[in-house]
Chains A and B, each alone.
Chain A
Amino acid sequence: MNVKGHVTLKNFFIFNSNYGPREGEEEKKTLYFFPSTTDIDSQIKAIGLCEAVVKFTETFSDKPCEALHTQKTKQLFLEAEPDFWIIMTVAVPFSKKEKDDQSYYEYREEDVQNSVYRAVLLQTYKMFKLFNGTFVNILERSGGDISSLKHRLEHFYSRYLLTLKLHQSDLLDVFNGISFLPLDKNTYLQIQCLINRLEALFPTIKYTAFLYNDQLVWSGLEQDDMRTMYKYLTTSLFPSHLDQELHGSSTRSSMTAPGGTHFGKFVTGPSNLDDSSSLGKVPRVFIQSDTENEECYLLVYKALSASICMLISVNSTMNFDFFRTVDGFLGAQMSKVASDISEQYPRKSVASNTDPQFKYVYFNHMNLAQKTTVHIDIRKLSGVNIPQETLRLLGDINSDLTRDNEDGETIVKTASDFWVVGKKSDQREFYVVINQKNANLIEINEEVKKLCSTHLNSIFFLD
């Protein structure tokens, strides 16, 4: 019998040592603890250990402690804001083995990559910040009331942590990139102009982003905000809206005033513009683009595959008329833009994924552009095209290349006869997995050169 353990979340907690400096008040340090069933004593111990590790390691390095490895766990540290620490502990996967009639557990520590899970940890904070603002800001708004911060943390993380898919985390979480839609200049300019006119007509719209399916076309938000927003839209809002649509709850093509239909509808906001009784739900988000912690409504409108995200100042009133005028302005134009784009991109057939020769992942740190043929879809619903261990290898090569922060190249042949090539040039990384059993190093090198010249010919990417 073979017993296996996956990467699982063991605990997750947030503390601030300043809140319980005296002995006997240690539990005051705790701001959030998962699982909530953990008894106070264990919570205090866990936090105490972390504090000790952080203090201890400070003696050796200017950089704060990042991770603590044990045989069965890995603990990741993040000082999200000054003195606010978020700790995530994951269980290392194991398998039960028999040797000489003795059974023992083999822990595969290398399956849990620091870079990947640190990225996951950072993501949990950024997502919190997007919907709640910074810890400090929450305290400021509540006049220093710690319980309101605790409440917020509880409210957010108790749900969010359940959606984490730790066993699926990989290199893409490290990059946390954005997939851009390649588009011809004229269509792009048309979209630009549409957004400009929208913002001019409705001055309460502070920022706008435009997506086609899961690909970004334009962001008026700064890069960092967009990165988190993109993650939210593509992994949470869009999929759940799609599910709703599939279940037929809000399928309706509204009528424009002078005849003719369009396909526009609100994803957040009223689902039915003929029924003024319900404004629907419009989430609020915190944007750091112009000023810190700027609270905005996130209004999302969609026509066919094109979505437009409007960030609207919370100080403005959003009544039913507003939604109607926005719909009136966007409906037909968005539908047209969407069908223009779809003409350029006839739905990619599944066949394009069947090329068995090679798979690649590309990432550019400068604009966060990310491309992958390793993953079948960005939400990782259908898994990946290459073996898990090869995928992990990409993560390892990435850690190596990142450590030196120098351009370089690594070529590896795996035990399962895959060739894996990782390259870094300036701020770009390119990973190729080639499934060519009998190829030698020179041939692989040539193959990668060819790949670069066909896929990366318009950028300065040194071979």
Chain B
Amino acid sequence: MEETSTHYIELCPNPIRFEPVGKANNVFFDDANRQVFAVRSGGAMGVVVKGPDDKSVIQFRMESRGDVMSIKFSPDKKILAVQRSFKSVEFVNFLDDMTTDELEYSQTCKGKSTQIISFLWTGLYEIIFITNHGLEQYQIYPEKRTLKCLKTISLQVNWVVCMPENGILLLSSGSTGNTLHPVQVRPGVLNKLPKFEVDLPAAPKSNKVSLVERDVTLANIYNQLYIVVLRHQPSANVGAEIVLYQLQKESPARKSDVLKLDMSGRFAINIVDNLVMVHHQASKTSVIFDIQQSSESDGFIKYHYPVLSPLPIKPFKLLLPSKFTLLLPYSANWIVFQPDIVIDAKLGCLWYIKINLEPLVTMIYEKTTLISFLLKRKESKMVILSVCQKMLIPGQQANLHTIATVYDMLNTVFKSYRDTEAQVNNGELPHNVLNSWKKKVIIDQSDMFTHVFSVYEDCKDIKYKFMVAVLIEYIRSLNQFNMAVQHYLYELIINILVNNKCFYQLHQFLQYHVLSDSKPLACLMLSLESVYQPAHQLALDMLKRLQTANEEIIEVLLSKQQLLQALRFIRSVGIVDTVSSRKFLEAGLNTNDDMLFYTVFKFFEARNLRLRSNPRFQQGEHCELYVKHFESVFGIEALAAVPVS
């Protein structure tokens, strides 16, 4: 238990297993489709393709025509592209059942000295060759087994970094390699974005490429594209740093963030859940950076430090070959792919890296920092709710100020979601805007009620004063963000106050409308009259303000035998003509006060006369009983005379 709590980075439990690299077996990874290719004897002994999950497997054979350099399926896996030389790429068509006719067709790059560095599928039938002389975009006609060149871009290229899911290529150019050209690629589109230069730690000694492919990564962090550059310092005493360049559409990429590593040596970078994760081979530890966390800034660039001190990835178990073995991470054979992939070709494993949020709860002591961090993570909802709950439990209790800050954070997110939702419903924003919210954590009142405030029930040693104070903080926060408070929260606070006999406090809350008017709340107040008399007045006031509760007001008054008040009330709101006379007469009879009964009776006789020119009650009003009673007490002659028409 304690052991697990020291590791918050782990490898997924079910890695994709493939045949390890060997003499006859070559392994390739296509990060666009997230597929691992195990190619035996150049394909003659078979090719096994696995990914993106451990269940998807494709197997086929192809003729061995030399060593494979690179191999990638088209996005719909209908065409396989295989590179065996620097000059050309070969293609094979696949049928729906993933069988192949093994008939290859080929495309050679343009120009004698041109060499293909890499290639990338940009559409179902579109491919780009990245060569040392620039880009070549081709259209493929699989039925004809031919390709047609669509567009070319000429540029001296040292190396390329691709980000297939966002369609971005980054070309290194120039003698020192630090001039970078971002290119946007989409089906039918090749769009050069403004180039920029990466500043090098020291002036390059020779015309040698100083910025190398291995130190440059493309990343999507909080829906912004960045070029992530690892910057080694000339002196090993000074820690390396990571420089983030934010990609711009119209202008060169802007240096925006610097992540301070405080270590030197070999690093590998992953992007997991919008965090920049840096693995350090020498110390066998990793650190994470959250570029949205508060940071130092010189006005242009933000300087970040790791969220936590360096900690190792959790050791993992693997079935090797007959029994489970515990293995340590940071093998020298590890290769990292973007955004969150680690491959060990010697072991034949592909893992996705995960962050386990629960151990972080005890690692980040400051609760506001913790919640702010968690709110930006995926699938952190239950962890956040559990943190919020723990903040209320004696022994781990946070102070009210912290609790207030946390609630404000939760409600800031909740409020902006609500606002977006409202704008979508009003047609001011397109519907798909809400999709981005699906990944975010939204904590609403019912979550708080069910998972946080429920602790009041279970944990009896929380002081009621604290309970009320916490609820008031939450209600304050909701009100501050202009959000209507749900009735169950009011009910909770009222119950706590009533159980502790804090009626005067409750009274004051109602007086200042801290608890908003509603019929259920009014009914709750009515039920409290026996323990706190003024609740009656509070309830009536509330019903009156609601303006839709005339029936309820009449019921309340009649049940208290306040008949005259009830009559005055229906007159004041102008509903004399529509109320049920029977209800009033019944209440009048129940008072055992003949004079009161007489008054009520006469009131309705007058109404009958006015409405129908006849003082008598009609059949449908079911007042016979009361007419009889009236006659027996006051005599028939006391009835109003029927006017002669």
Contact = CB atoms under 8 A, between A and B. Distances in A.
Contact of A196 (B473, B480, B508, B568): B473
Interface string A422-442: 000111100000000000000
A196 B514 contact: no
A426 B568 CA distance: 13
Interface string A316-355: 0000000000000000000000000000000000000000
Interface string A155-178: 000000000000000000000000
A186 B512 CA distance: 10
A219 B572 CA distance: 35
B400 A366 contact: no
A64 interface: no
Interface in A401-456: 407, 425-428
Nearest to A369: B511
Interface stretch (A51-59, A187-195, A257-265): A187-195
A34 interface: no
Interface stretch (B12-20, B121-129, B537-545): B537-545
A274 interface: no
Contact of A367 (B465, B534, B544, B565): B534
B295 interface: no
B507 A462 contact: no
Contacts of A407: 564-565
A222 interface: yes
Nearest to B399: A200
Given A200-B399, A200-B469, A366-B534, A460 B540 contact: yes
A222 B504 contact: yes
A183 interface: yes
Contacts of A367: 507-508, 511, 534
B399 to A, nearest CB: 7
B354 interface: no
B155 interface: no
Contacts of B536: 426
B545 A458 contact: yes
A190 B569 CA distance: 37
A27 interface: no
A462 B565 contact: yes
Contacts of A428: 537
Given A188-B514, A460-B553, A462-B568, A196 B472 contact: yes
A196 B572 CA distance: 42
Interface in B469-527: 469, 472-473, 475-476, 479-480, 504-505, 507-508, 511-514
B404 interface: yes
Nearest to B482: A186
B400 A193 contact: yes
B572 A463 contact: yes
A196 B476 CA distance: 12
B141 interface: no
A252 interface: no
B565 A192 contact: no
B503 to A, nearest CB: 9
A185 B536 CA distance: 22
Interface of A is mostly: mixed
Contact of B400 (A186, A196, A462, A463): A196
B476 to A, nearest CB: 4
Contacts of A192: 472, 476, 514
Interface residues of B, number: 38
Nearest to B505: A220
A193 B536 CA distance: 28
B401 A197 contact: yes
A218 interface: yes
A199 interface: yes
A454 B394 CA distance: 49
B89 to A, nearest CB: 66
A228 B65 CA distance: 102
Contacts of B540: 426, 460
A218 B507 CA distance: 11
A426 B537 contact: yes
Contacts of A201: 399
A180 interface: yes
A12 B540 CA distance: 44
A223 interface: yes
Contacts of A366: 507, 533-534, 537-538
A364 B537 CA distance: 10
A459 interface: yes
B86 interface: no
Given A189-B472, A196-B472, A183 B400 contact: no
Contacts of B543: 460
B603 interface: no
Interface in B287-318: none
A219 B508 CA distance: 8
Contacts of B568: 462-463
A199 B399 CA distance: 11
A367 B508 CA distance: 8
A327 B299 CA distance: 36
Given A183-B512, A462-B568, A200 B400 contact: yes
Contacts of A463: 568, 572
B472 A459 contact: no
A219 B504 contact: yes
A198 to B, nearest CB: 9
B321 to A, nearest CB: 61
A408 to B, nearest CB: 10
A200 B537 contact: no
A199 B541 contact: no
Nearest to A190: B476
B449 interface: no
B466 interface: yes
Contact of A199 (B401, B465, B544): B465
Contacts of B545: 458-459
Contact of A186 (B469, B480, B504, B572): B480
Given A193-B476, A196-B469, A460-B540, A218 B508 contact: yes
| Most-contacted residue by chain B among A218, A367, A407 (CB, 10 A) | A367
Contacts of A183: 512
| Most-contacted residue by chain A among B504, B507, B544, B569 (CB, 10 A) | B504
Contact of A193 (B473, B565, B569): B473
Contact of B514 (A189, A199, A220, A459): A189
A189 B479 CA distance: 9
Given A180-B511, A199-B465, A367-B511, A223 B472 contact: no
Interface string B65-96: 00000000000000000000000000000000
Contacts of B565: 407, 425, 462
A430 to B, nearest CB: 14
Interface string B602-637: 000000000000000000000000000000000000
Given A186-B480, A219-B504, A222-B504, A193 B466 contact: no
A366 B399 CA distance: 35
B397 to A, nearest CB: 9
Contacts of B479: 185-186, 189
| Most-contacted residue by chain B among A186, A201, A460 (CB, 10 A) | A460
Contacts of B537: 364, 366, 426-428, 460
A427 to B, nearest CB: 6
B470 to A, nearest CB: 9
22 contacts: A185-B512, A185-B514, A186-B480, A188-B512, A189-B514, A192-B472, A192-B514, A196-B465, A196-B468, A197-B399, A200-B400, A223-B504, A364-B537, A366-B534, A366-B537, A367-B507, A367-B534, A407-B564, A426-B540, A458-B544, A459-B544, A460-B541
Given A200-B399, A427-B537, 5 more contacts: A190-B476, A193-B400, A201-B399, A220-B505, A463-B568
Q: Which 5 A-B pairs have the closest CB atoms?
A: A196-B469, A189-B476, A366-B534, A460-B540, A460-B544
Interface of A: 180, 183, 185-186, 188-190, 192-193, 196-197, 199-201, 218-220, 222-223, 364, 366-367, 369, 407, 425-428, 458-460, 462-463
